[in-house]
Amino acid sequence: MHKLFLLLFLALCSLASVCAQQNEVYIKAGHLYDSEQNIIIKNKVIQVKGNTIVSIGDFNSIPKHAEILDLTEYTVLPGLIDAHTHVLFSQDATEDFSEHSIHSLTMESDAIRALRGSKRAKSYLDVGITTVKELGNSGLFLDVALRDAITEGTIEGPRIFASGPILAATGGQIYGVSPKHQDLIDLEYRIISGVEDAKIAVREHVNQKVDLIKICADNIPNNTHLSIAEMKAIVETANGYDLTVVAHSITNQSAWNAIQAGVHGIEHGFNLADSTLTLMANKKVFLVPTENSKTYMETYSNLAGYDDDDLGWIANYLARMKNRLDRAIEKGVTIVAGSDNYTDIGGTRGESSRDMFRAYFEAGMKPLDILQSATYTSALNLNKQNELGVLKPGAKADIIAVKGNITTDFITTIKDVVFVMKDGVVYVSNPK
């Protein structure tokens, strides 16, 4: 019987290639970024087998006749993470968010929306972003479908952590809709009506296999907002399914309420007071400050048709965001990198996403701290710190390389991506 089982197992292995030898490669890194320690170390070799990092060693650990990828002239990093994306949503700078949303929901099929999203998804890999946190404005779980299509290899794109429709109060973020057409908003948001409904909404999302829950703590410019009781019910139900909850917040009060309700992270947080930042630090609630650089804002303003005499607001905006970020760091709030860039200002979505690095740098963050916020810290708050955002044994083989000095010429270097591997598969290989 044992012999028969063994023969059957070997036959199945042969048919399904289960026992086929996995590809093994040794990547020589001239400089390697250790995201846990937030340091750069020299002359290390990464042993990759299949889609997993097996070991980190010295150059002399490479066996004879091994397949070698020589990246000794570059800095090797874990694949980058954008913790706030909307891959399935896009609008022009001249378009109104609400009007475009209604147009998209009524005049575009889910199929065309998904196909456009799949093209945008590939562009993240091109710039070294191998994982994204996809936070709504994705129709009825189109983000989950996109995630699954990427996972199964049907299309190319970053690893996606999908939230499904945003849980929000009446009206969601789509403003100005007449009473008889409010049902259209249900195609983009999960509108919450009470504590029990909040629990049901989480279970609906769990049933659709989301990776996390996103809520709107406020709905600006709509005046509605979730109550603390509703948010608390969402958090407690989500925690029961081992899901984290992140909260979109524009006002300080909404952030305070969401933190009191137990959310794990605040997205945007444009108007956080010192007292709220202190509360976040004490409760270990992370912040995703979705910043834009001066260059981005000037390009956006030009496309949107702003008069050159009316651009003083950009300097004020940048100063306020820098002040908020400085205060958050000073208070000890954990910073996680996220872009929230869904406006078409030219270039690819991946290139637009990458602008967050310039924005954080211009706001005063140090290069390695920016890298850590987009690798280890982001993975830690996805509970994936041993798999993603790190270069260590057992982690996924998400590995990129950049040309230049990452500490002294950060902006130029982070843009010069010469190598991208995700899950052991090479998507970019352009050594210079």
Q: What is the CATH number of domain 24-78+391-429?
A: 2.30.40.10
Q: Same fold for the domain at 24-78+391-429 and the one at 80-380?
A: no
Q: What is the CATH number of domain 80-380?
A: 3.20.20.140
Positions of the chain with pLDDT lower than 50, given as ranges: 1-21
What is the model's pLDDT at position 23? 86
Q: How far apart are CA 121 and CA 350, in angstroms?
A: 8
Contacts of 279 (CB under 8 A, 6+ apart): 256, 259, 285
What is the model's pLDDT at position 7? 40
Q: How far apart are CA 49 and CA 64, in angstroms?
A: 16
Q: How far apart are CA 124 and CA 135, in angstroms?
A: 16
The greatest distance separating any two alpha carbons of the chain, rounded to the nearest whole angstrom, comes to 85
Contacts of 103 (CB under 8 A, 6+ apart): none
Sequence spans of domains, the chain: 24-78+391-429, 80-380
Total-model pTM: 0.92
Strand partners, 142: none
What is the model's pLDDT at position 15? 37
